[in-house]
C-alpha cells in the first residue's frame, strides 16, 4: 500500500508527521511519500521520498499552493492520502474524487478558530465558514485523526471513523537526570509574549532566591527581543538568566536533564490555548522535569492526576513567583514530582500507545 502525507504548512521533518507517524507506519508499510513545502526533492535515510513545492504566501499564494500540492500528489498515485490542514484536506478530497483513493484528515489544531484569528473583524463568521467546510469534507472521507477529546467529539459528529491519536512523546526521548546543584528552571520553545515570557521574567525578579533560569529557543520577533531586554535592563539587578537562542533537539535534552522545573505558561489570549495539551508539557514530563503550568482545564487534569508539578495563574507574576519558590526551596519534593511525570508518560502518555491506534486504522485500508 502506497501512502502519501500531504502538508501545506509543516516542514517534512515535523516531529509528529515524520518522527512519529511516518516512522511508525514504516514498520508495516515500505512505500511512503511526503508532499510538503521544502527546498528540494530528496530521499531520507529511512527511505521516505520527499516531494517538495515552493510555499507561497497571501491569497494568490494559497491558491498556487493548492495547485502545486495537487500536481505533486496526483503523480504519486498512492492508495492513501493523509492530510494535515484544511487546505491539504481539500487536495486529498479532490484526489479521492479523481482516483477513488482513501483519505485521512489529521487535525492537530482548532483550525476554524485559528484561521479566524487572521481577521480583525467577523471572527465568528469566519469560524463558522471553516467549520462548515470541515464538516462538508469530513462526512465524505474515510477517517479522521485528532489529538484531544474536544476535537474528537467534534469530528465524531461528522464521521464515525474518528480516532484519538494525541501528540505524546516517543519513549526514546527520556533523559537520564544530572541535576545542577543550583535549582534550575527552563522554558523550551519560541519566545513570544503569549507564552508567558514577560510574566516569568517579572516573577524571577520578584524572588530573592538564587536560582538559575534558561530560556531555550529563538525570539520570534526582534520587537519582542527588545521588549525582553528593556524589561531586564529596567530591573538593575543581577539574576542568573540565560537565553540560548535556537539550538538542536539533542542539545535541548542536554539542558533538560540538568533542570528541575519547566515552564508551560500559555496566556489566556485565545480559546485554543485554554483548551490545549501542549506537547512541551509531555516533553518535560518524560525528561523527569517538574512543571509549572497554566491553570487551564486540560493541563490541570494532567498535572494534578500525575502529581508532576504546580498549577498557577499564568497572568499573575506573583502566583508564578510563589510556584518558583515552592519548587526551588523543596528540591526533594520537586524531584519526586519530576519522577511522577516521567512514570505517567511511560504508562499513559507515550507514542507507543498512539502508534498501535495509527497502525490499526491503516490496517483497515488493506
Task: Specify the pLDDT at position 120.
Answer: 80
Judge if 282 and 141 occupy the same domain.
no
Residues 90 and 116: their CA atoms lie apart, in Å, by 18
Judge if 133 and 33 occupy the same domain.
yes
Crossing angle of helices 86-99 and 58-74, in 10° steps, is 40
Mean pLDDT of all residues in 155-161: 96
> Is 257 contained in some domain?
yes
Task: Specify the pLDDT at position 118.
Answer: 77
Judge if 27 and 41 occupy the same domain.
yes
How many angstroms separate the Cα of 198 from the Cα of each of 13, 53, 219, 236, 262?
Answer: 31, 38, 12, 16, 15
Q: pLDDT tens-digit profile of 212-224?
A: 999 999 999 999 9
User: Please, which pLDDT band fits residue 128 given cuts at 50, 70 and 90?
Assistant: very high
Mean pLDDT of all residues in 21-42: 95
Judge if 201 and 117 occupy the same domain.
no
Task: Please list the residues that pair with 83 across neighbouring strands.
Answer: 6, 105
Judge if 99 and 237 occupy the same domain.
no
Q: Is 121 or 331 the better-scoring residue by pLDDT?
A: 331
User: Please, which pLDDT band fits residue 270 given cuts at 50, 70 and 90?
Assistant: confident
Judge if 314 and 210 occupy the same domain.
yes
Q: Say if pTM beats, i.e. exceeds, 0.85.
A: yes
Percent of the chain with pLDDT over 70: 99
Say whether pLDDT at 29 is over 90: yes
Give yes or no for a contact between 25 and 41, defined as CB atoms under 8 angstroms apart. no
Say whether pLDDT at 320 is over 70: yes
112-120: Cβ within 8 A, 24+ apart: 113/270, 113/271, 113/272, 114/272, 115/86, 117/270
Residues 173 and 250: their CA atoms lie apart, in Å, by 9
**Residue 147 sits in which domain range?**
3-168+351-364
Judge if 226 and 91 occupy the same domain.
no
| Residues present in the chain in total | 366
> Is 174 contained in some domain?
no
Task: Specify the pLDDT at position 173.
Answer: 63
> Is 99 contained in some domain?
yes
Crossing angle of helices 297-306 and 331-347, in 10° steps, is 100
Query: What is the phi/psi pair of residue 79, to 5°?
Result: -90, -30
Residue closest to 270 by CA, chosen among 118, 114, 108: 114
Residue closest to 292 by CA, chosen among 203, 222, 174: 203
Judge if 190 and 283 occupy the same domain.
yes
> Is 175 contained in some domain?
no
CA-based end-to-end distance of the chain: 7
Judge if 23 and 158 occupy the same domain.
yes
Judge if 48 and 151 occupy the same domain.
yes
> Is 100 contained in some domain?
yes
Q: pLDDT tens-digit profile of 238-257?
A: 899 999 999 887 788 899 99
Task: Specify the pLDDT at position 55.
Answer: 87
> Is 315 contained in some domain?
yes
Mean pLDDT of all residues in 255-268: 96
Judge if 164 and 238 occupy the same domain.
no
Say whether pLDDT at 197 is over 90: yes
Is 144 in a helix, a strand, or coil? strand
Judge if 159 and 192 occupy the same domain.
no
Query: What is the phi/psi pair of residue 308, to 5°?
Result: -115, 15
Mean pLDDT of all residues in 257-262: 96
Residues 51 and 73: their CA atoms lie apart, in Å, by 8
Mean pLDDT of all residues in 142-170: 96
Q: pLDDT tens-digit profile of 340-364?
A: 999 999 999 999 999 999 999 999 9
Mean pLDDT of all residues in 139-167: 96
> Is 137 contained in some domain?
yes
Query: What is the phi/psi pair of residue 82, to 5°?
Result: -115, 105
> Is 160 contained in some domain?
yes
Task: Specify the pLDDT at position 89.
Answer: 97
Domain at 264, CATH number: 3.40.50.2000
Q: Strand ranges (DSSP E) for the chain?
A: 3-6, 32-37, 42-43, 49-53, 80-83, 102-107, 143-146, 162-164, 184-188, 212-216, 240-245, 261-264, 290-294, 309-312
- Number of compact structural domains in the chain: 2
Average pLDDT across the chain, whole number: 94
Task: Specify the pLDDT at position 174.
Answer: 65
Amino acid at each position: 500500500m502506497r501512502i502519501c502525507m500531504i502538508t501545506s504548512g509543516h516542514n517534512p521533518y515535523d516531529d509528529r508527521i515524520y518522527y512519529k507517524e511516518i516512522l511508525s507506519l514504516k514498520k508495516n508499510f515500505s512505500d511512503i511519500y511526503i508532499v510538503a513545502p521544502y527546498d528540494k526533492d530528496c530521499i531520507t535515510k529511512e527511505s521516505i521520498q520527499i516531494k517538495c513545492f515552493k510555499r507561497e504566501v497571501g491569497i494568490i499564494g494559497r491558491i498556487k499552493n493548492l495547485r502545486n500540492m495537487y500536481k505533486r500528489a496526483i503523480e504519486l498515485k498512492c492508495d492513501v492520502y493523509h492530510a494535515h490542514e484544511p487546505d491539504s484536506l481539500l487536495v486529498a478530497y479532490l484526489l479521492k474524487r479523481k482516483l477513488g483513493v482513501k483519505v485521512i484528515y489529521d487535525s492537530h489544531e482548532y483550525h476554524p478558530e485559528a484561521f479566524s484569528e487572521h481577521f480583525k473583524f467577523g471572527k465568528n463568521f469566519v469560524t463558522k465558514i471553516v467549520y462548515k467546510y470541515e464538516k462538508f469534507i469530513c462526512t465524505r472521507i474515510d477517517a479522521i485523526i485528532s489529538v484531544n477529546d474536544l476535537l474528537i467529539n467534534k469530528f465524531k459528529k461528522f464521521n464515525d471513523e474518528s480516532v484519538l491519536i494525541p501528540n505524546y512523546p516517543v519513549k526514546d526521548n527520556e533523559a537520564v537526570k544530572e541535576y545542577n546543584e543550583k535549582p534550575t528552571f527552563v522554558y523550551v520553545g519560541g519566545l513570544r509574549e503569549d507564552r508567558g515570557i514577560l510574566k516569568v521574567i517579572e516573577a524571577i525578579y520578584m524572588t530573592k532566591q538564587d536560582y538559575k533560569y534558561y530560556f531555550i529557543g529563538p525570539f520570534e520577533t526582534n520587537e519582542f527581543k527588545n521588549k525582553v531586554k528593556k524589561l531586564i535592563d529596567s530591573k538593575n539587578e543581577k539574576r542568573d538568566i540565560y537565553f540560548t537562542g535556537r539550538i538542536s533537539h539533542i542539545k535541548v535534552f542536554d539542558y533538560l536533564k540538568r533542570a528541575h522545573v519547566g515552564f508551560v505558561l500559555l496566556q489566556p489570549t485565545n480559546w485554543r490555548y485554554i483548551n490545549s495539551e501542549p506537547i512541551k508539557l509531555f516533553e518535560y514530563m518524560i525528561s523527569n522535569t517538574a512543571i509549572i503550568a497554566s491553570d487551564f482545564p486540560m493541563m490541570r487534569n494532567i498535572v494534578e492526576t500525575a502529581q508532576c508539578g504546580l498549577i498557577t495563574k499564568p497572568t499573575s507574576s506573583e502566583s508564578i513567583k510563589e510556584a518558583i519558590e515552592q519548587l526551588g526551596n523543596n528540591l526533594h519534593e520537586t524531584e519526586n514530582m519530576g519522577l511522577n511525570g516521567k512514570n505517567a508518560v511511560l504508562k499513559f502518555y507515550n507514542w507507543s500507545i498512539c502508534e498501535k491506534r495509527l497502525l490499526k486504522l491503516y490496517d483497515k485500508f488493506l
